[in-house]
């Protein structure tokens, strides 16, 4: 448990500005409803700062519908509040990032000075100094905030205790940050970090810690996952708005051609295709979903029928819109954001395939994750299929909701120590519901491992730091689910065999083009 806590606090300390309260200490209480805003939407200030979110601006014309041009201004106007809110996330994160980088360097320097890892330093100075919240503390918090909390105390007691623990750890982390600042030579050279105006601008020095610079490039590299996430969300908003504009324009054009109103056209083309929902169909839907429905069929019958009717209407509308689009000339030129590329460490990690392979596939995995179990044989097949061209590297990313995943990752390393990593991993994926420590040791016996050595490594947490290192690196490059697969440093969104294979083919093509251009 301390390993997981240390990981959380390391994130807290790294994310907290020196001399400020860590963000976790100001989050809403568990079960609390939304806090009222201090400003009404009309009072909300416009974002005037450059978020540095877009490497290049979208084209002026983002779609053409039967000769009718749709501009980016047409699309962005109704989306402006949402886009600005997303861009503001990057602006605020960049403002905090210099302090985050300072904190990270201070932690590394102090840990090195004491001959510890950063995790052990956090355990000693934060985890062990945090007073564990009691049930009485949780009850007092619940009583003070009862008006804002949804749920009975017994149901959310654990959440409240976790919340209070995070608050207290955040306070101890802030104290540690202050002590480290006073003990080391820290110089902050800018009042606020701003995005680089050019590639050369990435060399700007924002701060130094014991003479070591923190540059604009360091800041931007750390923001890569967030910037891409914001770019993708804005792209999805714009794409949905363009689709809406296309459908509305085609409907208006078709209505004008037939000399009727758009409403009349829809009633003629869509309404007849929406069939009434029968009681039998509603009952079938209820029976198939009653595990997720509260109430009897008789109580909910009319609501279910209306829900199903609306679904039928949406499907009919979609089918009609698709038929109009197929018969029209529609061009969309909105560029999709480019996935960022990361440098991911592979040295000393479990791997298979040629060391000098042109393509390296890195998978962040969780041995208790069902999707990871499905992806594991797919990656194995691809390494064999691309004989010598593809190398697979595995990094650990046990998710907090999987109680046995962290220890399973340690066990895999303990098996690797004896040359049986891949065999042990296959056994765990085949037995995901039985990954307790006792079972892990049974698997070691089944594979003929030296049990004394295996047990000592597992019980003593010999590889816990290594697993945690993988998790921290995963966090830095935006890993938040498993499996997360990267091909030559670029995340693969489509994790099917076809999707990963397509990414490998693209990476091989880039390599060939790079060689021929020299």
Q: What is the pLDDT of residue 13?
A: 59
| Residues facing residue 363 across a β-bridge | 394, 485
Q: In what order do the strands lie in the sheet with 330-332?
A: 68-71, 61-65, 330-332
Q: What is the pLDDT of residue 43?
A: 45
Q: What is the pLDDT of residue 52?
A: 85
Q: What is the pLDDT of residue 50?
A: 80
Q: What is the pLDDT of residue 120?
A: 87
The 3-class secondary structure across 107-129, one letter per residue, is HHHHHHHHCCCHHHHHHHHHHCC
Q: What is the pLDDT of residue 231?
A: 95
CA distance 31 to 345: 39
Q: What is the pLDDT of residue 2?
A: 57
CA nearest neighbour of 423 among 414, 434, 452: 414
Helix (H) or strand (E) holding 307: helix 297-326
Q: What is the pLDDT of residue 16?
A: 45
- Take residue 364 and report the two structure tokens written for it: 């962040």
- Take residue 330 and report the two structure tokens written for it: 């529609």
Q: State residue 408 phi and psi, 5-degree precision.
A: -65, -40
CA distance 386 to 501: 10
| Residues facing residue 361 across a β-bridge | 392, 487
* Residue 9 · residue 169 · CB < 8 Å: yes
CA distance 106 to 214: 12
* Residue 47 · residue 84 · CB < 8 Å: yes
Q: In what order do the strands lie in the sheet with 212-215?
A: 186-188, 205-209, 212-215
Q: What is the pLDDT of residue 513?
A: 79
Q: State residue 416 phi and psi, 5-degree precision.
A: -65, -35
- Return per-residue pLDDT of the chain as tens, 518 residues: 555 555 555 565 555 443 343 333 334 455 544 433 334 444 444 445 788 887 778 999 999 999 999 999 999 999 999 999 999 999 999 999 999 999 999 999 999 999 998 888 998 999 999 999 999 999 999 999 988 888 899 999 999 999 999 999 999 999 999 999 999 999 999 999 999 999 999 999 999 999 999 999 999 999 999 999 999 999 999 999 999 999 999 999 999 999 999 999 999 999 999 999 999 999 999 999 988 888 899 999 999 999 999 999 999 999 999 999 999 999 999 999 999 999 999 999 999 999 999 999 999 999 999 999 999 999 999 999 999 999 999 999 999 999 999 999 999 999 999 999 999 999 999 999 999 999 999 999 999 999 999 999 999 999 999 999 999 999 999 999 999 999 999 999 999 999 999 999 999 998 887 777 76
CA nearest neighbour of 331 among 59, 28, 38: 59
Place of tokens 């956090």: 122
Q: Give 362's Cβ-side CA count (13 Å radius).
A: 22
Helix (H) or strand (E) holding 2: helix 2-15
- pTM higher than 0.75: yes
Q: What is the pLDDT of residue 6?
A: 58
């Amino acid at each position: 448990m301390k390993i997981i806590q240390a990981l959380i606090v390391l994130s807290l300390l790294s994310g907290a500005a020196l001399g400020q309260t860590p963000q976790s200490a100001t989050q809403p209480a568990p079960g609390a409803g939304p806090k009222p805003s201090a400003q009404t939407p009309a009072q909300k200030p416009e974002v005037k700062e450059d978020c540095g979110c877009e490497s290049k601006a979208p084209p002026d014309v983002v779609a053409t519908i039967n000769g009718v041009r749709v501009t980016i201004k047409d699309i962005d106007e109704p989306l402006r509040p949402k886009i600005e809110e997303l861009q503001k996330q990057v602006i605020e994160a960049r403002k905090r990032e210099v302090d985050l980088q300072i904190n990270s360097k201070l932690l590394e320097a102090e840990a090195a000075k004491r001959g510890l890892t950063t995790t052990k330093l956090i355990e000693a100075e934060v985890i062990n100094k945090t007073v564990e919240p009691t049930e009485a503390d949780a009850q007092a918090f619940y009583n003070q905030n009862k008006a804002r909390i949804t749920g009975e105390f017994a149901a959310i007691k654990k959440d409240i205790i976790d919340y209070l623990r995070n608050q207290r750890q955040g306070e101890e982390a802030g104290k540690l940050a202050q002590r480290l600042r006073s003990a080391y030579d820290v110089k902050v050279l800018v009042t606020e970090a701003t995005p680089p105006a050019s590639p050369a601008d990435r060399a700007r020095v924002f701060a130094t810690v014991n003479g070591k610079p923190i540059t604009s490039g360091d800041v931007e590299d750390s923001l890569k996952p967030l910037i891409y996430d914001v770019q993708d969300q804005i792209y999805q908003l714009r794409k949905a708005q363009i689709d809406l504009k296309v459908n509305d324009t085609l409907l208006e054009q078709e209505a004008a051609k037939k000399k009727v109103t758009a409403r009349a056209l829809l009633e003629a083309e869509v309404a007849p295709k929406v069939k009434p929902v029968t009681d039998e169909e509603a009952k079938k839907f209820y029976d198939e979903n009653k595990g997720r429905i509260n109430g009897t069929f008789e109580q909910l019958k009319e609501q279910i029928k209306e829900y199903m009717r609306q679904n039928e209407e949406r499907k009919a509308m979609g089918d009609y819109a698709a038929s109009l689009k197929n018969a029209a000339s529609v061009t969309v030129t909105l560029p999709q954001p480019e996935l960022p590329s990361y440098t991911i460490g592979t040295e000393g990690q479990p791997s298979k395939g040629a060391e000098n392979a042109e393509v390296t596939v890195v998978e962040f995995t969780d041995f208790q994750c069902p999707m990871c179990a499905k992806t594991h044989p797919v990656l194995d097949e691809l390494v064999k299929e691309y004989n010598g061209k593809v190398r697979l590297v595995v990094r650990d990313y046990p998710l907090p909701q999987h109680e046995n995943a962290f220890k399973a990752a340690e066990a895999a390393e303990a098996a690797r120590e004896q040359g049986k990593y891949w065999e042990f991993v296959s056994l765990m994926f085949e037995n995901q519901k039985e990954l307790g420590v006792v079972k892990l040791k049974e698997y070691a016996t089944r594979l003929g491992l030296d049990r004394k050595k295996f047990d000592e490594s597992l019980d003593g947490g010999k590889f816990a730091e290594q697993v945690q290192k993988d998790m921290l690196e995963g966090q830095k490059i935006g890993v938040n689910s498993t499996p997360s697969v990267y091909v030559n440093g670029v995340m693969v969104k489509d994790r099917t065999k076809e999707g990963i294979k397509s990414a490998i083919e693209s990476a091989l093509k880039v390599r060939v083009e790079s060689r021929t251009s020299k």
